[in-house]
Structure 1
Amino acid sequence: MATKQQAEVSREGRARYLYAVVRARSGWAAELTGLGPSPVHAVREDDLLALVSDTAGLRVAPTRAHLLTHQRVTDAVLREHTLVPVAFGTVLPSEERVRELLRAAHAPLVRALDVLEGRVELGLKVYCHRDALARRLEAEQPELARRPTEPEEDHEQRLELALLERTTRDMDVLRTGLAPLVAATHESAPLGERMLLNAAFLVDRAAVAAFEARLKTLVARTEVYAFRFTGPWAGYSFVDVRLDMEGELSAGTR
């Protein structure tokens, strides 16, 4: 960070670690302990509140304890408020700098709050038991079995194509089945060979139970896929709030 920011920390004695931004009208009365450990408090600018805690320096090490504390504070805020989550490690040198950043990013922060109003993020990862699915496909479609004179490589290519067609269709059925309960979807690239879907869904709080029930109905139809369902979380996948190397805050929706 710049020398100017270090000087600000020296004058104030403590920097400010940011967790989230909420609307001022929602108020702030919770008693939470943040990094440090230091109490979480609100810094107000116009109609926005930045939730912060005091910290000694401008950098916070990404230790497991720090990451869990950041997540615990965010989860606690999410239970009572619509919030724009701030990326881990976002530190400002002074409370005045927090207010400046709220002023500078006011419009995108309000837009992000509008997108997230009354909604939470749910995560879903889908994995394929490829051998089990291959056996099922060969049982359902005898023509997929290896022909007497067929080279093994050709058979593997035919089977791989059939696997791709089936998994693509099944994931499309899953997306279609969940779509009526979803306000927005963000998909990331699958990780590893077994993962087929790596998705986040923005869902109204009131629809979370219905989403879970619909998902259980859809996944009950198959034993060749494994599902990892997580949440509710703050909408990290649908907004982007981070501090650049010059200490400027950028915020927007994805």
Structure 2
Amino acid sequence: MEEVVKEGKYIYCIITTTVAKTFGSIGIGCRGDELYTICFQNIAAVVSNSPIIKYSISRENTLAHEKAIEEVMKEHTVLPVRFATIAEDEEKVKKILEKEYDRFVALLKDMKGKKELGLKAIFKEDVIYKYILEKYKDIERLKERVSALPPEKTYYQRMEIGKMVEAALQKEKEIHKKGILNTLSPLAVEVKNNNTYGELMIISAAFLVEKYREPEFDQKVNEYVNKYGNKINFKYVGTVPPFNFVNLIINTEEY
């Protein structure tokens, strides 16, 4: 006999509202479930119906989670809830809102009028090594000397050049990371430096910025891009859920 999977309430985020609202049939799981609010006093959880299952951390599922929160963000300050948080029913959601009311209200007040902006900067591979040779003359001179000798006699010298280039690259990354943070951090309320990946990535950072300062922040990013875009690729992302600054962990079984 096939086991019946119970239905629950998938929680996306917490918002401030006193009225019931819907946000479209964009619930996780590709069933076309409606996003709607479950209210308690002046706050609400945005939920959709969902089977009580363990969602895999696939691109499809995480994107559905993020897109749902982005839709709500068009009208509201949001407190994102951790991916795959499912309460057993509406009563459980209301209990969570009641118990965490003061904390949620304080966080909503703190996040009001702010947005997360993300910036990644990565050296262009075809440009940066040429730039390093031009800037670091000792590496260039050693490379020229070695290139005139038979390859079998220059193994250690080539190893040395590799180490020197690596050290120079690290130095350049630190220079630009510091430059970016010194330029943009004064315009942000909070900054989160995330892990970088690959030898060419300079920075992967999130900035919590007051909305009224966004044009100034944009301008500073554009100035940096115009100045260094010849050797650095920039990826600048705005209006994303503030996952780097709030990502509520709600253990539903505790309520």
TM-score, normalisation: structure 2: 0.81
**Who is 1:234 aligned against?**
241
Distance 1:30 1:193 in 2: 45
Q: Secondary structure at the match of 2:83?
A: coil
Equivalents in 1 of 2:163, 2:106: separation in Å? Answer: 48
1:63 to partner: Cα distance? 5.4
Indicate which of 21, 32, 41 corresponds to 2:24: 32
Match of 1:3 in 2: none
Alpha-carbon shift at residue 218 of structure 1 (Å)? 0.4
**Contact map agreement 1:59 1:91 (CA 8 A) in 2:** no
Question: Which of the residues 175, 178, 186 maps onto 1:169?
Answer: 175
Gaps (5+ residues) in structure 2? 147-155
Counterpart check, 1:74 vs 2:69: yes
Q: Which amino acid aligns with 2:236?
A: F
For the residues of structure 1 that align with 2:125 and 2:212, how far apart are their CA atoms? 36
**How many angstroms apart in 1 are the aligned matches of 2:168 and 2:57?**
43
Candidates 215, 218, 233, aligned match of 2:221: 215
Where does residue 112 of structure 1 map in the other structure?
107
Match of 1:252 in 2: none
Partner SS for 1:220: helix
Deviation at 1:95, TM superposition (A): 0.7
Greater C-alpha radius of gyration: 2
Q: Tell me, what secondary structure is at the counterpart of 2:141?
A: coil
CA distance in 2, matches of 1:130, 1:227: 13
Aligned residues: 238
Distance 2:9 2:134 in 1: 62
Determine what percentage of the aligned residue pairs are the same residue. Answer: 22
Q: Which runs of 5+ in 1 are unaligned?
A: 1-6, 250-254
Letter paired with 1:71:
E
- Between stretches 183-192 and 144-153, larger displacement belongs to 144-153
In the alignment, which residue of structure 1 is the partner of 2:84? Answer: 89
| Contact 1:177–1:214 (CA under 8 A) maintained in structure 2 | yes
Work out whether 1:52 is the aligned partner of 2:58: no
The CA RMSD over aligned residues, in Å, is 2.7
* 1:142 partnered with 2:137: yes
- Structure 1 residue 104: deviation in Å? 2.6
What does residue 188 of structure 1 align with? 194
SS of 1:126's equivalent in the other structure is strand
Letter in 1 for 2:26: G
Aligned residues of 2:23 and 2:71 also touching (Cα < 8 A): no
**Greater mean alpha carbon deviation, residues 113-122 or residues 232-241:** 113-122
Aligned to 2:11: 18
Instruction: Return the alpha-carbon distance in structure 2 between the equivalents of residues 60 and 142 of structure 1.
Output: 54
Q: What TM-score comes out, normalization by structure 1 length?
A: 0.81
* In 2, Cα distance between equivalents of 1:145 and 1:64: 44
